[in-house]
Amino acid sequence: MIEFRKGLSTEFAFCGESIGFLKLSAAMAKQLIIQTGRYIRQGRHQEPYEEAIRNVLLTSPRDTFAFEDITGMAWIEIDYAADIERDNTEILPRILSSIDNRGQAVIIIQTPEQGEKRIQ
């Protein structure tokens, strides 16, 4: 990866969008905590969280980070009531169908009021 942020200002051969799920080693998680602490000490409280990740990514050895192509997978970011309707009519049926075909799936639902729930 050569860049990680909302707006790209460099040339690239392939471009994707982060959906916000990261799997980090303990060492990389520690680096991210250290970088986030720097942002806080510098008063950079309004920075998007991706900027701290970007700093760690760009200062790490090449091939430390990778990505997964999720093109065609059933997922949705829910921000508005219309997203819930789309989830119920399009996304959830696809997930349930994949459970029938593969035998398992994990659905993570996170709300500010209730925290995180896992449905398997």
Domain definitions of the chain by residue range: 1-71, 81-119
- Interatomic CA distance for residues 89 and 19, integer angstroms: 21
The residue ranking higher by pLDDT, 19 or 51, is 51
pLDDT reading at 109 higher than 70: no
Q: What is the pLDDT of residue 120?
A: 45
- Pull the structure tokens for residue 57: 């990514």
| CA gyration radius, the chain | 17
- Pull the structure tokens for residue 29: 């998680």
Q: What is the pLDDT of residue 54?
A: 87
Give the dihedral of Cα atoms 82, 115, 98, 68; nearest 10 deg. 90
Least confident range of 20-29, 75-84, 86-95, 96-105: 96-105
Strand partners, 109: 117
**In Å, what is the CA distance from 78 to each residue of 18, 37, 49, 88, 91?**
15, 29, 19, 11, 11
Q: How confident is the model at residue 74 (pLDDT cuts 50, 70, 90)?
A: confident
Q: What is the pLDDT of residue 11?
A: 75
